[in-house]
Amino acid sequence: MRIALLGGTGDIGQGLALRWAYDTNHEVLIGSRDPERARTAAEEYETELDSRGVEASIKGFANEMAADRADVVVLAVPPYHAGDTVDAVADKLDAETVLVSPAVGMKGDEDGLHYHPPSAGSVTALVAGRAPDGVSVVGAFHNLAADKLANLDAELDLDTLLVGDDEDAKETVGQLAEGIEGLRALDAGPVANAAEVESITPLAINIARYNDGMHDVGVRFH
Amino acid sequence: MRIALLGGTGDIGQGLALRWAYDTNHEVLIGSRDPERARTAAEEYETELDSRGVEASIKGFANEMAADRADVVVLAVPPYHAGDTVDAVADKLDAETVLVSPAVGMKGDEDGLHYHPPSAGSVTALVAGRAPDGVSVVGAFHNLAADKLANLDAELDLDTLLVGDDEDAKETVGQLAEGIEGLRALDAGPVANAAEVESITPLAINIARYNDGMHDVGVRFH
């Protein structure tokens, strides 16, 4: 499968790119608004993988080009760019494309981070509302510990929660997730249930802040 | 320590009563609006513990009486009764009493359960706003799998998240929590961070609904 990571130069994009290239045979494309930045990041990821004996071909493109070539498009961009990024690539998406939303709206104050969704109720719902008709949207990869994800020496043992209204698309993303070693995909229901999934991200950051010895916190349900 | 479980006839109250009586030397009082119901529940818990060779004295009282005698008062009542229950016992609380809020506001639809906090922002914040001056409020025990908690044969291996503005009170509740075998207390910061803690409860219920083989779901962070 061909996966485009739009905003793939950021921390969650880096982690997913490295893990998919290291653990699976999926083809990874890095997208950025600036194609030169995308190419630079792609080369860095290739170098990192090469140092571990993995010969991966990761290519960098402008977001539109990356989206055009991919089966699955991950919006690994800040939450306030999620809608604009969907608009920018909309005419490159078709009914077979699965759009994945991992972004979380948060605001911080002296107490910690707080969940701060857009008026659509969640970033996933915002993306689902902006996506072209027929394009399936799945919320996933919100609650991953980004530094652990990007460190191929770190064992994950984490859950990622999926929300989506299209069961086939959710199944596709679940399989992509579970291709990463130590990552388990759990179904949290339709897009309407996304807010509770997204709001784990500020909580995990607060837990890392308030508990000695906890860094880069992820979650497991059982 | 003497712990009053107001609404201690419900599922979370039952679980906490059994676990504290079984795993610790704390004295457990069951409170209810109806003292007869409290006494009946207390006898049932004693019988359950006796069948496991634990001789515990659990007594039932009207909520006001239970609160009056306790060092720590747990509001194990439905979220819409949390404020009224605080009012009902307010003149029995003093500056040494720690008030614990485990309730979560939720609403359900065909998709699942959704976090539905009171206008205060969270049930914990509502309780903190209604508590008499000087009484410390700690949010805790929201995200426990109630059936597992009440089944003394079940190993927990779960986290409970604490929020509170008084570090000493939070420390007290954390020690009570960790007296229960398999339960770890994590600090999630002040009361202002309660919403993200409480909203795990509907998420855990949604996960149990949408994933085969998962029941009575709790959480671990790492």
| In a domain? residue A27 | yes
Q: What is the predicted pLDDT for the residue at B115?
A: 98
Q: Where are the beta strands (DSSP E) in chain B?
A: 2-6, 27-32, 59-62, 72-75, 98-101, 106-108, 113-115, 136-139, 158-164, 183-187, 219-221
**Domain housing B67:** 2-210
Q: What is the mean pLDDT of chain A?
A: 97
pLDDT band (50, 70, 90) for residue A174: very high
The Cα of A176 is separated from the nearest Cα of chain B by a number of Å equal to 17
Tens digit of each residue's pLDDT (9 = 90 or more) over A31-54: 999 999 999 999 999 999 999 999
Q: What is the predicted pLDDT for the residue at A58?
A: 97
Q: What is the mean pLDDT of residues B8-22?
A: 96
Tens digit of each residue's pLDDT (9 = 90 or more) over B36-62: 999 999 999 999 999 999 999 999 999
Tens digit of each residue's pLDDT (9 = 90 or more) over A190-215: 999 999 999 999 999 999 999 999 99
Torsional class of A68: left (φ above 0), alpha (ψ -120 to 50), beta (otherwise): alpha
User: b/e per residue, A169-185, with b = 16+ CB within 10 A?
Assistant: bbbbbbebbebbeebbb
Contact between B82 and B103 (Cβ < 8 Å): yes
Task: Tell me if chain B has a CB within 8 Å of the CB of A220.
Answer: yes
**Chain B CA closest to residue A204:** B221
pLDDT > 70: percent of chain B = 100
Task: Tell me if chain A has a CB within 8 Å of the CB of B218.
Answer: yes
Closest CA relative to residue A147, chosen from A215, A203, A206: A215
Tens digit of each residue's pLDDT (9 = 90 or more) over A4-30: 999 999 999 999 999 999 999 999 999
Contact between A191 and A203 (Cβ < 8 Å): no
The Cα of A108 is separated from the nearest Cα of chain B by a number of Å equal to 10
User: b/e per residue, A37-72, with b = 16+ CB within 10 A?
Assistant: bbbebbebbbebbeeeeeebebbbbbbbbbbbbbeb
Using CA atoms, how far apart are residues A127 and B72, in angstroms rounded to an integer?
Answer: 46
Alpha carbon A72 to chain centroid distance? 11
Which residues from B are below 8 Å from A204, CB to CB? 221
| In a domain? residue B222 | no
Task: Tell me if chain B has a CB within 8 Å of the CB of A104.
Answer: no
Q: What is the mean pLDDT of residues A73-86?
A: 97
Torsional class of B7: left (φ above 0), alpha (ψ -120 to 50), beta (otherwise): left
Closest CA relative to residue A13, chosen from A51, A46, A45: A45
Window 106-125 of A: residues touching B by CB (8 A cutoff) are 109, 111-112, 114-115
> Between vectors from CA A215 to CA B124 and to CA B186, what angle results, nearest 5°?
30
Cβ distance B219 to A214 less than 8 Å, yes or no, reads no
| In a domain? residue A37 | yes
Pairing of strands A59-62, B136-139: unpaired
Phi–psi pair at B218, nearest 5 degrees: -120, -175
| In a domain? residue A222 | no
Using CA atoms, how far apart are residues A219 and A197, in angstroms rounded to an integer?
Answer: 11
Using CA atoms, how far apart are residues B162 and A221, in angstroms rounded to an integer?
Answer: 18
Cβ distance A111 to B214 less than 8 Å, yes or no, reads no
The Cα of A210 is separated from the nearest Cα of chain B by a number of Å equal to 6
| In a domain? residue A218 | no
Q: What is the mean pLDDT of residues B198-217?
A: 97
Q: What is the ipTM of this complex?
A: 0.95
Q: What is the CATH number of the domain that holds B113?
A: 3.40.50.720
Residue of B106, B198, B203 to mutate when probing chain A, most A C-beta within 10 A: B203
Cβ distance B204 to A193 less than 8 Å, yes or no, reads no
User: The whole model's pTM is what?
Assistant: 0.96
Closest CA relative to residue A22, chosen from A187, A162, A155, A139: A155
Number of domains in chain A: 1
Cβ distance B217 to A221 less than 8 Å, yes or no, reads yes
Q: What is the predicted pLDDT for the residue at B49?
A: 97
Question: Which tokens sit at A34?
Answer: 């600036």
Q: What is the predicted pLDDT for the residue at A23?
A: 97
How much of chain A is in helix, strand and coil states, percent to nearest 5? 40, 20, 35
Alpha carbon B130 to chain centroid distance? 18
Tens digit of each residue's pLDDT (9 = 90 or more) over A121-166: 999 999 999 999 999 999 999 999 899 999 999 999 999 999 999 9
**Chain B CA closest to residue A207:** B188
Task: Tell me if chain B has a CB within 8 Å of the CB of A213.
Answer: no
Cβ distance B112 to A189 less than 8 Å, yes or no, reads yes
The Cα of B56 is separated from the nearest Cα of chain A by a number of Å equal to 30
| In a domain? residue B206 | yes
Q: What is the predicted pLDDT for the residue at B196?
A: 98
CB neighbourhood size of B147 (10 A):
13
Contact between B164 and B152 (Cβ < 8 Å): no
Q: What is the predicted pLDDT for the residue at A43?
A: 98
Task: Tell me if chain B has a CB within 8 Å of the CB of A212.
Answer: no
Q: What is the predicted pLDDT for the residue at B30?
A: 98
Q: What is the mean pLDDT of residues A98-112?
A: 98
Q: What is the predicted pLDDT for the residue at B147?
A: 92
Q: State whether residue B68 is helix, strand or coil.
A: helix
CB pairs under 8 A between A and B: 116
Cβ distance B112 to A192 less than 8 Å, yes or no, reads yes
Tens digit of each residue's pLDDT (9 = 90 or more) over B152-161: 999 999 999 9
B11 compared with A28, residue with greater pLDDT: A28
Q: What is the predicted pLDDT for the residue at B91?
A: 96
| In a domain? residue A215 | no
Using CA atoms, how far apart are residues B122 and B104, in angstroms rounded to an integer?
Answer: 8
| In a domain? residue B75 | yes
Tens digit of each residue's pLDDT (9 = 90 or more) over B75-132: 999 999 999 999 999 999 999 999 999 999 999 999 999 999 999 999 999 999 999 9
Q: What is the mean pLDDT of residues A71-95?
A: 97
